[in-house]
Amino acid sequence: MARRPLPRILSNGSAQIARSRVLARTAADSATDVLHPLITITRGLRRLAAAGRRKWADTPKDRRGPLLFLVASVILVVALVPYGPLFAVIAVMAVAGWKGRERAVQKPKGPDESQTKRLRSLYEALVPYFSAAEDPAPLYAHGGDWTQAFPSYDFDESGRISRLLVRYPAYFTDGEAESRARIEQLLHAKSGRGREYHFGWDEEGNELTVTVLPPLPTDITAQRFVTAPGETVLGFTDPTGVQRTLPLTHGEEQRDVPPVVWRTGMRSTEPHLLVVGEPGSGTTTLLRSIALQALQHGDVLIVDGGGTGEYACLTGRDGVLTVESGLAGAMASLEWATNETERRLIAANRARQTGQPPPDDVKRPLWILLDRPSALGHLAAAEGREDPQTLLQVPLRHGRAANVTVVVAEQFDGLDALSDAVRQHTRARVVLGPATPDELEAVLGAPPHTTPTKDVPPGRGYARLGSGPVHRLQVPATPDPYDDATSENHRQAVMELLPRRSEPVAAVGAKALAAEG
């Protein structure tokens, strides 16, 4: 009878333990409620700091100084305003609290039926290329699981693939250009034609990233670019291709765009340029753009082998030595350019021997722009004269030391007529207009990492400087201002860049002919 109170005692002890647990949980919840604003603000400050670091890393090096000066100016103004630091702290805490709030995590939605069908079709198409009969656990097999091969993918509004991560077996020969070209051609065809794709091969991780590239801007017109002497803007490319941007003053909107900058002069490793393209692809536009930029700091000699009069706007301008389209004038002008290169070399050599700087006329750049030399070569052969390209050997071989730059533009059907000197010394290359992958590799020396499209706007192509990477390129619109088809906006943009007309003087070619006579 005396042992009956024992269960009651045990039950009272259990109740006390449960009550103590409830009290402890309540106290923990109360502490969490008290610390929740502090945790939120701390999380927000951490996110703001991470965003600031990313912004600083993405800012080009040439713009970090102005950005730092702007931030310091804002901090100084806030510090001088009455109650400025207090309001600044309150504002930062409010923003940190907003950034640090918990967000509802939305689980990514899987592909719909049409997207799944497209991915399945793409997977089945890759099976013959990424499978082997002796593979015990094949990643690619007919009727296999495509989710293991495509771990990441995105679709655009039209339902086509915009980004795709492809895994492939380690035994695939990704080091061979032909093997990779077959995969790129297949992905281009199955993912949707008419778009330009970038293929990023990761040989170490056995992964291929396929990305649809946005079209390059075509509203950029000729203008004064913010460049140093010896720098020429060939055009504009993707922001991931270069680490520099240039501000624009003309166009649909004021913005910064990534340029393809070609450096010339005595320290350049690619002192000469070769431009190749079909008729209407924009080769003459590029030469006209280069001439307008070169006239800021140097003299220009132009030989128009096609005789189309595309450079008439430059005739008689300050800095333009001559614009020749006939065979006799072209030969005389190029012979003068050869003699001028030799004279500069001798003057520079004498200055170095005496410990003096080179003369000013030697340091002033001289540009030789030759458009379609094959046409002049045919005329010279018909008349029994030597090819005008033979007169380019001295400027091409010794132009860097003499501060002479040669730019040659030719069409695809005239590439065989180019001399060995032009092929050997023009290490900066540009291809404009539609071209096959074989044609691009033959001119540039390396295939691009993107798929060229058939329908491209004028001035659209690829550029490669020496042994560097191949960049997509869009040449700024620089049409002939005397052409009736040129819009008023483009005409005014080009006319503003033209130097003033010089006094009537004899052309360089005429002088050379008179000297010969």
Binding residue positions: 277-284
Q: Residue 178: count other Cβ atoms within 10 Å of its Cβ.
A: 7
Name the residue type at position 171.
Y
Q: Are 483 and 249 in contact (CB under 8 A)?
A: no
Per the CB < 8 A criterion, the answer to whether 243 and 58 are in contact is: no
Question: What angle in degrees, to the nearest 10, is found between the helix axes of 508-516 and 327-353?
Answer: 90
Instruction: Tell me how far apart the alpha carbons of residues 261 and 242 are, in angstroms, rounded to a whole number.
Output: 9
| Sequence-ordered strand ranges (E) for 224-380 | 231-236, 246-247, 256-257, 259-263, 273-277, 299-304, 320-324, 366-371
- Using only C-alpha atoms, the chain has a radius of gyration, in whole angstroms, of 33
Q: At what angle do helices 5-58 and 84-99 cross, to 10 degrees?
A: 110
Using alpha carbons, list the distances in angstroms from residue 113 to 116, 119, 147, 152, 367. 5, 10, 14, 17, 60
Phi-psi region of 151 (alpha: psi -120 to 50; beta: other; left: phi over 0): alpha
Over 7-54, what HEC string results? HHHHHHHHHHHHHHHHHHHHHHHHHHHHHHHHHHHHHHHHHHHHHHHH
Binding site for ATP, residues? Answer: 277-284
DSSP class per residue in 258-278: -EEEEE-STT-S---EEEEE-
Strands (DSSP E) contained in 40-177 are 152-155, 161-167
H-run or E-run covering 212: strand 207-213
Q: How far apart are CA 340 and CA 343, in angstroms?
A: 5
